[in-house]
Amino acid sequence: MELRLVLGIETSCDDTGAAVLDETGAILGESLNSQKEVHLRTGGIIPTVAQQLHRENIERVVQEALERSSVAPGQLSAVATTVKPGLALSLGIGLEFSLRFVRQHNKPFIPIHHMEAHALTVRMLQPVAFPFLVLLVSGGHSLLAVARGVDDFLLLGHTLDEAPGDTLDKVARRLSLIKHPQCSTLSGGQAIELLAKDGDRTRFPFTTPMGQTYDCCFSFAGLRNQVTMTIMKQEAEEGVKQGTLLTCVNDIAAATQHTVASHLAKRTHRAILFCKAKGLLPSSSPTLVVSGGVASNQYIRKALMIITEMTGLHLLCPPAKFCTDNGVMIAWNGLERLREGKGILPPNVDVCYEPKAPLGVDISAEVKAAAIRLPSVRMKIPN
């Protein structure tokens, strides 16, 4: 029997990705055009710039993925493409290209929810059975959900303002870390992780957000405000203008990273206790999957490991290259849906992209009503 093949296309934010996978999860060919360098120079993602770069690269990226996999369009079983959530202008390019492609080659089309793809990537790498708890943390999102099936999620909590990756990037930008000799080519989050290794996190004791709110939602804007006030105070003390590297950047980086890690760990801890109370996870070897770009931060992983070891969960993180946006996870999500016959559309159907799209059924109000108080945990994380 021939193995089914799926082409995955991802353009939800600033990376143009494509990949061809077979149903065993083998990556036959992939291509990724990263826009990181461009956006690093402009100090953030400008949607029209991202859109233009997708437009210039998508044809080539898809072509490369197909060529590297030695698969002709005619051999594909389906095309899977991210249609939600993300930047409207970016999503539009991927969707428009894909609809043209499936009509031209008469192939089924599978619209993909970007967060669902992040959540399922781990199943491509190892056999993880449903249900499992998933924490998605990236530059655009943070959420906690129970994955009960390929298209069946219970949303326990989500960010109320900005995503953790976005916060780390903005702090790095406010600290002008791009001027730091060790950080000139790193993303904001990577720069903070690197400098934090040599920092004293206790020098600036930031308050962990939402300590008195007993739910699983996240908030990072207040923390960013705390950090900004501290930076301004330090600039005044050192007698320097904004845009100058402070002498204490390592300490600020360490304290910021620790507070983000603490906040993520505490919300995850409450989610685990809620799931146990409601019987939402299997009693034997329950699993926490952590994915998204921020999941590659080793300090944050260690903070989560303290919680999973304490609560008896098994912590799984896909390798860093699968945590950031790519075509592989989209193709895999397509295969998972193809296998179950879920959400597969004929080529001539009209599909719209959705910049805002929550994942699954939101039960965050129920989590809040449970008002679970956490035992205090010592976050002793070696740098």
Domain 5-107+324-351 CATH superfamily: ATPase, nucleotide binding domain (3.30.420.40)
For 185, the token pair is 């080519």
Distance of CA 241 to the CA centre of its chain: 34
Number of Cβ within a 10 Å radius of residue 350: 6
Topology alike, domains 5-107+324-351 and 132-318+362-370:
yes
Q: Dihedral sign, CA of 191, 181, 15, 89?
A: positive
The 10 Å CB-count burial string (b at 16+, else e) for 200-239 is ebeebebebbbeeeebbbbbbeebbebbeebbeebeeeee
C-alpha dist (Å) from residue 358 to 86, 145, 361: 11, 11, 8
Instruction: Just give the CATH number of 132-318+362-370.
Output: 3.30.420.40
Q: What is the pLDDT of residue 139?
A: 85
Q: Dihedral sign, CA of 143, 147, 149, 150?
A: positive
Task: Verify cis geometry, omega within 30 degrees of 0, for the bond prior to 131.
Answer: yes
**Cβ pair 332, 117 in contact under 8 A:** yes
| Rounded CA separation 190/225 (Å) | 20
| Rounded CA separation 379/383 (Å) | 12
Q: What is the pLDDT of residue 14?
A: 87
Burial status of residue 247 (CB atoms within 10 A of its CB: 0-12, 13-18, 19 or more): exposed
C-alpha dist (Å) from residue 93 to 96, 101, 173, 353: 5, 12, 29, 10
| Rounded CA separation 119/134 (Å) | 6
C-alpha dist (Å) from residue 213 to 219, 370, 372: 11, 11, 10
| Rounded CA separation 316/83 (Å) | 27
| Rounded CA separation 338/133 (Å) | 23
For each of the chain's 383 residues, which pLDDT tens digit applies?
789 999 999 999 989 999 999 999 999 999 999 887 787 777 778 889 999 999 999 999 999 999 999 999 999 999 999 999 999 999 999 999 999 999 999 999 999 999 999 999 999 999 999 999 999 998 888 999 999 999 999 999 999 999 999 999 999 999 999 999 999 989 899 999 999 999 999 999 999 999 999 999 999 999 999 999 999 999 999 999 999 999 999 999 999 999 999 999 999 999 999 999 999 999 998 999 999 889 999 999 999 999 999 999 999 999 988 888 899 999 999 999 999 999 999 999 999 999 999 999 999 999 999 999 999 998 888 76
C-alpha dist (Å) from residue 254 to 135, 264, 277: 22, 15, 34
Q: What is the pLDDT of residue 340?
A: 96
For 186, the token pair is 């790193």
**Cβ pair 8, 330 in contact under 8 A:** yes
The domain ranges of the chain are 5-107+324-351, 132-318+362-370
Question: pTM for this structure?
Answer: 0.94
